[in-house]
Amino acid sequence: MSLQGQNIVIVGGSSGIGFETARLALQQGANVTIAGRSEEKLEKAKFHLIGNVWTVVADVTDETSVNQIFERLDQIDHVFIPAGGLSMGKILDTDPDEFRQGLEERIFGALYVVRAAVPKMPKHGSITLISGVRADRPIPGTTMTTVGVAAAEALTRSLALELAPIRVNAVAPGWTDTPLVSNVLGDNYDAVIRSVSEKIPVKRIGKSEEVAEAVIMLMNNGFINGEVLHIDGGERHVSAA
């Protein structure tokens, strides 16, 4: 199995899990387009990637901007959509408008990408969405993240039928060492990671490339469809007892 010569688009490919997926796809000989909001981050990512890489500045919450990602390409074989941040804050303490961005990214963003990409996808094409362990293991203060990633899982199952024979899957990472996590935790990074690692059955958090390997597998395996693949070291099964 190989992605040799295939066109892959990663919306949210300039950092973390998306960047590692770009790196692995390039190793398999794919042509990779990475998109994100920051031109600086995209250029930095391109500098560190080896192979056929294109960058497009785009915000997944803006349909016109999403359409521009796909304009240059006649055929798109596989799409991965890791774009998104964390929606933090307790419902009673947070202005509801602050939660809009997360839902725009995870629900409408995914729909904009699907609408732009699918008309150019061959029968063997695939789309991979991003979920997360919070879909099954909510923690107080991240309710709207839970809602967003659970919606991604619902979209996965529904789109797998609606877009057939194009396959639609999702990866659901647990704690993964990426710039998103280090930015959110700041100075508390070491203490928090030590504490959560104790609770995860494998006793550590994940690496971006471990999630990226799963995404590449989902692109390559033509019979996995409508699936949510958990890459969380077993955190989903940890009981409070």
Ligand X SMILES: NC(=O)c1ccc[n+]([C@@H]2O[C@H](COP(=O)([O-])OP(=O)(O)OC[C@H]3O[C@@H](n4cnc5c(N)ncnc54)[C@H](OP(=O)(O)O)[C@@H]3O)[C@@H](O)[C@H]2O)c1
- Contacting residues toward ligand X, per CB under 6 A: 11-18, 36-38, 41, 58-61, 82-86, 105, 130, 132, 173, 175-176, 178-181
Nearer to ligand X, 73 or 86 (CB): 86
Nearest approach in angstroms of CB 3 to ligand X is: 20
Nearest approach in angstroms of CB 148 to ligand X is: 8
* Closest listed residue to residue 80, CA positions, set 45, 114, 31, 50: 114
* Closest listed residue to residue 77, CA positions, set 110, 117, 109, 116: 117
Nearer to ligand X, 38 or 195 (CB): 38
In DSSP terms, 231 is beta-bridged to: 173
In DSSP terms, 177 is beta-bridged to: 207
Q: Which residue is nearest to ligand X (CB)?
A: 16
Nearest approach in angstroms of CB 123 to ligand X is: 28
Nearer to ligand X, 1 or 105 (CB): 105
At which residue do the structure tokens 């839970």 appear? 146
Asked whether 221 and 213 are in contact (CB, 8 A), the reply is: no
Nearer to ligand X, 159 or 211 (CB): 211
Nearest approach in angstroms of CB 112 to ligand X is: 10
Nearest approach in angstroms of CB 80 to ligand X is: 10
Nearer to ligand X, 85 or 226 (CB): 85
Nearest approach in angstroms of CB 12 to ligand X is: 3
Nearer to ligand X, 61 or 143 (CB): 61
One-letter amino acid at 4 equals: Q
Nearest approach in angstroms of CB 82 to ligand X is: 4
Nearer to ligand X, 41 or 78 (CB): 41
